[in-house]
Structure 1
Amino acid sequence: MNTLRILLSTDNHLGYAEDDNIRGNDSFAALEEVLFLAKEYRCDMVLLAGDLFHHNRPTRRTLYKTMDIFKRYCMGPGAIQVQIVSGSADDATAAVAAAGRGGGGGGGGGATNKNTNTNSPFVRGYVNYEDENYSVDLPVFSIHGNHDDPSRDGGNSELYAALDLLDVSNLVNYFGKQQDAKDIRVDPILLKKGTTQVALYGLGSMRDERLNRMWRGEHLTFSRPAEQDPNNNKNGGGGGNNGNDDPAQQWFNIFALHQNRDRGRGAKNCIKEDMIPDWMDFICWGHEHECDIEVTESVVGTFRISQPGSSVATSLVEGESMRKKIGILDIREGQFRLTAIPLTQVRSFVLGTVRLADERNLDPDEPKVDTKVSKLLEDKVRVLIHDAREKRRELLIDAEEGGNVLAKYYNNSNDDGIAGIPLKHTLHKEDEVLVRLKVDHTGFAAVNSQRFGAKFVGETANPSDILLFTRKRSESKSQTKSMKEVKPIEPGDVEEMDIEELIVEQFEASNTRLELFDDKKISLALDAYVGKSEARAINEALEKLLGKQQNRLFKSGVDTAAEGLGKVKPEDADDKPDMGKKKKGKKTKRTKSEDYDEEEEDAEQSFEDNDMMEEDPPPKSRS
């Protein structure tokens, strides 16, 4: 009764490739397996660390399937053993809320004393199983990711995420959504089961550069339970125990976030581990798709990190080929244990490479070399297909030994198919695996990918993009300032960055940046228009930037825009309060957090996608 059990999962990307006849159900099958295992292992709750949905505005089909899955696994008459002490650290010493039903420790019937504190980490101020009109027996807590972050509908100013729909339907507890874009306060959800106490913190995805600036500029603070730190000091205290010798009074601090990890991306394009408060105990790190779920020690040495990774492959890269798992986190009076469980509803994927110049039997000057290249690649792909199917067989054996009861349905199946598997959504044609062969064709012509892939229809789930051609780039002779002489971008580079990053890079590389407008903010507006379907994002961004420039030019006292270009720069329009000439005798004082941009647009809560790896577009449907 004193052990709090939490299932950890992240980056489910529901709706990815939903129009594909083979892979369209993969993301839903993986989510259903996650919730099935949560019920099978009698977890007290599920924690999702962002990107539940793949698209910012999921289709009605995706929403229907998602709500159906959550309804079947999260609604029921079972007793909830976890009590909500409060939804805010301000109320940490308040009386324990009656959060259970039956044997749930809160009396009979559903609890009615909802916490509607404005500082509550919950979007609606209270947890779903406190609503007396609903019967929830598996609470799910989720933050948003960069794919499903809040965005605006039409000309409205309110920001809503797809998770808001699940939250208002009492299917998911959406937390970590920040209403104030300038000063962020992260309040914990205080949970209690017997003598075990957990403070759950969550921070929805933000643009890494902005969050990094706010974090270092002290515009982000963490509240703490009163027993830990009466002053709610961000950096106060030593750890979860906080010097308290009584284990029953210790708070175990969990932090769920969805950001880039420090993997050589630069100081401002990620969140460094030493930025996280050292009194945290456990970090559930979302956004990174590679499964690294085993607990690792942080660089500061005071907390542990688990990276569950994605439950469905959204790009054909090496990180996605790792075995995908979920974690069962058991917490008892300040101590914890993590058990990793392999997932079976994951399409097998292997990656291979070949360099044509290293193949002895290939001569680029030979008349029929194209035929030989095609035959060579075909043989290598068939080896990959065999390896992928063998990899799945090994997975199912290991999964059954590792405690996943679903694996036995596959291991005991016959040629007639899987009988009795207790899932509504399963992999469709799991023998059609994912393979990717990276081909360095320097000195050779590329093979037609569509014609080549047609040979493997029925054997692979991605016949149209099996091959990825690369070649060694030739070094540029010189770099000039003229836009005409800017080195063209080769296809390989396009696949590794977003369109807004390409725009900024092109302007910087050619040394011809925009003079009136800030190209970086325009690229953010472009991302909101394309990725978030905000129809007026570009118009509003241009109008706002134009208005600011007009005001600066007016204050500077110039007669023409051309005359004022030397005085007003795009970046100055947002960072400096006055572009006019300084008056004599007056000095401008620098504030402590001058690097923090107070005029960042509120719409920047729909942040740019700094994905941890290149993302392939969803495959087209095949008839």
Structure 2
Amino acid sequence: MENSDEDTFKILLATDVHLGYGEANPIRENDSFKSFEEILQIAEKEQVDFVLLGGDLFHETRPSPYCINKCTELIRKYCLGDKPVEIEFLSDPSFNFQNSTVNYEDPNMNVSIPIFSIHGNHDDPTGKRQISAMDLMSSMGLINYFGRWDKVTQVEVNPILLKKGTTRLALYGLSHIRDERLARLFIEKKVIMKTPEDVNEWFNVLILHQNRANRGAKNFIAESFIPEFIDLVMWGHEHDCKIEAVQVADGRAYITQPGSSVATSLAEGEALTKKVGLLQVSGRDFSILPVELRTVRPFIFKHMILDAHEVEGKISHADKAKTIVSAKIEEMIQTARQMGARDDWLPLIRLIVKYQDERQVFNAIRFGQGFANKVANPEDAVKFVSLQKKTRRGNVTMNGEDVEDLEIEQVDRVEDLLAKYFNETNQLKVLSIRGLNEAVKRFIDANDTDAPSYIIENQETYTLEKLIELKPEEDELEGQLERMRAARDPNDFKNLLNNPNRPKPSNNDVEIGSDNSDNEATPVKPYKSSLNESVKRFIDANDVEARLCIMENQETYTLEKLIGLESEEDELEAQLSFTERHEIPASLKICLITQIHLKGLIITLKWEVAMRQLQLSQFRGEDRGAGETA
């Protein structure tokens, strides 16, 4: 693209900086700040007209004073100065910003490189007055914070209109909204983008912070939702760097995904080379030049399979496995050093070890301490994944192709989570997946917070009454439960929930804070049993391995523990290792809480039926002991 500088916008694209990530880690505490400083250095060196950020500038909604101070220092160092800003601001700033002015036109500021940014899911407004760290940066005149929405029932996007020479640029900012909600708003035509009259004479850029990858029904933003007049989409939230623009299949728009500038998880996508983009726009033409970030800590991600024959011999299976894994880790460390990083910069390492024999497994945390001076994350450098897939028919050994995606998936929508989880090894005995789906959809889509509790309580009562009526033998109990569950009409659930006179549920075990509340600071209410409380703490920490551990441990818990009488938390808490906070939707919380409730419910049903049979036996004078029946 060859055009004069007077008519060409030069913009630096970056997203998901996550300032403050790992701040408490003595090794990684400065990683996010170093990368952000490099981004601003690139902007200064390339003499860009402005920096455009796609959300999650901060890792926490309430960043530490140190984090805010460091961010302020860096912006003041690189973005304030005497260099004139050569772009005209044409739109009404009162529609774009809360402080009703763009910072480089503020007579009290001396801005040389403006920063425009939306918020993401990590730095979104919170609390009674809906304030975030982005508001603080805006109030100080350091960032032009735009893309905020006021209503959740309909979203209006007023573009920032800029001009440089003959080129006109429109920025449509849409800060993070829950994906289920935003997808529904798009479907219902309730996302309204205000356009200038001659929209086709503008270069139109949409900036959003949402799921791009398909993570379940309505839990991502489909490319088909992109309005036809949009020329370029800058997609935040996804951490994989895919900055080269690709065209949407059924439209004229292009999508660029800068990805994060710091690894906030040990996912494979985070191991891709981190880059920012230099966007040039002249008239209706554009180009993006990728620029690799040099201050990013090296991250090497690998898979390996421990074959059974590799661990045969006189030494133990675990010791042989340690030797093999250790050699692979050393190889990965050498690969990281060849990436050109400083010698004193310890790399991030993630090795997924897939095994067939339980005897090959060793303590990965203790093993990692042997690399404490060689890697930045010795405690979780190694992760074991079994090649034995549990099914209802037993264990099935998978081959290498089958296990490429064996990493535990994050499922964010209950339709997928319930169907996937309960249809495999944890089939429901009392409740219906269709009933739970309908209840939780009401919870999310209509903010009907009583729906899950009502459905569970209704089906519990019906099932117990029916079992007392039928009086099945104990060995017939589960079969009878399955027949009753399968016989339910799906319309019954809708009719129950649509009943305006339905009673308030009395079940407190599944009392859940609203996921659709406009006040994001409202905490989820604690559950009554100590086991439920432990699960709540796990959910807030997003420890996926702990989730599986909890599910397996529930099978062995007694009735007293499940209904919250005398529970000991030490055994369970010892297995919980808390990781970084991530947003967990209400659907997942409901599913986990429902699992706990169901375990107790099934045992309760068996107990109730046994007691009824005992009473009948005593009434008839039959010699049947309570212990034998129970």
**TM-score between both structures, scaled by the size of structure 2:** 0.66
1:126 counterpart SS class: coil
1:251 and 2:164 matched? no
Paired position in structure 2 for 1:146: 121
Paired position in structure 2 for 1:171: 142
Deviation at 1:496, TM superposition (A): 3.4
Among 168, 182, 191, the alignment partner of 2:162 is 191
Report the Cα distance in structure 2 between the residues aligned to 1:604 and 1:518, rounded to whole angstroms: 22
Deviation at 1:70, TM superposition (A): 1.3
Report the Cα distance in structure 2 between the residues aligned to 1:571 and 1:174, rounded to whole angstroms: 43
Per-residue CA distance 1:174-196 (angstroms, 9 max, x = gap): 11110111111111000011111
Query: In the superposition, relative to structure 1, how do residues 376 and 547 fare at CA in structure 2: closer, same or farther (>3 Å)?
Result: closer
1:182 and 2:182 matched? no
Among 364, 367, 388, the alignment partner of 2:336 is 388
Per-residue CA distance 1:251-295 (angstroms, 9 max, x = gap): 11011111111x343341111111101111111111111111011
Query: In the superposition, relative to structure 1, how do residues 454 and 571 fare at CA in structure 2: closer, same or farther (>3 Å)?
Result: farther
**1:294, 1:307 within 8 Å by CA — same for their partners in 2?**
yes
1:68 and 2:17 matched? no
Deviation at 1:125, TM superposition (A): 2.7
1:215 and 2:183 matched? no
Paired position in structure 1 for 2:353: 439
Mapping 1:327-346, distance limit 5 Å: 327-346=277-296
Report the Cα distance in structure 2 between the residues aligned to 1:141 and 1:614, rounded to whole angstroms: 35
Deviation at 1:445, TM superposition (A): 3.6
Query: In the superposition, relative to structure 1, how do residues 60 and 349 fare at CA in structure 2: closer, same or farther (>3 Å)?
Result: same
**1:284, 1:307 within 8 Å by CA — same for their partners in 2?**
yes
1:362 and 2:281 matched? no
Mapping 1:285-296, distance limit 5 Å: 285-296=235-246
Larger helix percent? 2
2:57 counterpart SS class: coil
Query: In the superposition, relative to structure 1, how do residues 437 and 251 fare at CA in structure 2: closer, same or farther (>3 Å)?
Result: same
Mapping 1:104-183, distance limit 5 Å: 115-116=93-94, 120-152=95-127, 156=128, 158-183=129-154
Report the Cα distance in structure 1 between the residues aligned to 2:517 and 2:274, rounded to whole angstroms: 38
Report the Cα distance in structure 1 between the residues aligned to 2:18 and 2:410, rounded to whole angstroms: 19
User: What is the aligned-residue RMSD (CA, Å)?
Assistant: 3.9
Paired position in structure 1 for 2:392: 477
Paired position in structure 2 for 1:379: 327
Among 382, 406, 412, the alignment partner of 1:467 is 382
1:4 and 2:28 matched? no
1:278 and 2:228 matched? yes
Per-residue CA distance 1:420-473 (angstroms, 9 max, x = gap): xxxxxxxxx653111111101221342212221111112111111110110024
Report the Cα distance in structure 2 between the residues aligned to 1:332 and 1:181, rounded to whole angstroms: 35
Per-residue CA distance 1:186-239 (angstroms, 9 max, x = gap): 1100001111110000101111111101101011111111222xxxxxxxxxxx
Deviation at 1:522, TM superposition (A): 7.7
**1:312, 1:346 within 8 Å by CA — same for their partners in 2?**
yes
Paired position in structure 1 for 2:84: 79
Deviation at 1:392, TM superposition (A): 3.1
Report the Cα distance in structure 2 between the residues aligned to 1:127 and 1:605, rounded to whole angstroms: 29
Residue identity over aligned pairs, in percent, reads 35
**2:440, 2:452 within 8 Å by CA — same for their partners in 1?**
no
Deviation at 1:147, TM superposition (A): 1.5
Which amino acid in 2 is paired with 1:188? Answer: P
Query: In the superposition, relative to structure 1, how do residues 357 and 504 fare at CA in structure 2: closer, same or farther (>3 Å)?
Result: closer
Paired position in structure 2 for 1:202: 173
1:320 counterpart SS class: helix
Report the Cα distance in structure 1 between the residues aligned to 2:411 and 2:64, rounded to whole angstroms: 23
1:166 counterpart SS class: helix
1:617 and 2:530 matched? no
Equivalent residue pairs, number: 467
Query: In the superposition, relative to structure 1, how do residues 175 and 605 fare at CA in structure 2: closer, same or farther (>3 Å)?
Result: farther
Deviation at 1:602, TM superposition (A): 3.0
Deviation at 1:386, TM superposition (A): 0.1
- Where structure 1 has 5 or more consecutive residues not aligned to the other structure, the ranges are 88-114, 229-241, 243-249, 394-409, 411-428, 480-491, 525-540, 551-561, 581-598
Query: In the superposition, relative to structure 1, how do residues 618 and 477 fare at CA in structure 2: closer, same or farther (>3 Å)?
Result: closer
**2:274, 2:296 within 8 Å by CA — same for their partners in 1?**
yes
Paired position in structure 2 for 1:18: 23
1:361 counterpart SS class: helix
Which amino acid in 1 is paired with 2:374? Answer: E
Report the Cα distance in structure 1 between the residues aligned to 2:499 and 2:52, rounded to whole angstroms: 43
Paired position in structure 1 for 2:480: none
Deviation at 1:549, TM superposition (A): 9.9
**1:504, 1:519 within 8 Å by CA — same for their partners in 2?**
no
Paired position in structure 2 for 1:497: 410
Query: In the superposition, relative to structure 1, how do residues 475 and 507 fare at CA in structure 2: closer, same or farther (>3 Å)?
Result: closer
Of structures 1 and 2, the larger Rg is shown by 2
Which amino acid in 2 is paired with 1:40? Answer: K
**TM-score between both structures, scaled by the size of structure 1:** 0.67
Report the Cα distance in structure 2 between the residues aligned to 1:225 and 1:351, rounded to whole angstroms: 47
Which amino acid in 1 is paired with 2:187? Answer: R
Query: In the superposition, relative to structure 1, how do residues 125 and 501 fare at CA in structure 2: closer, same or farther (>3 Å)?
Result: farther
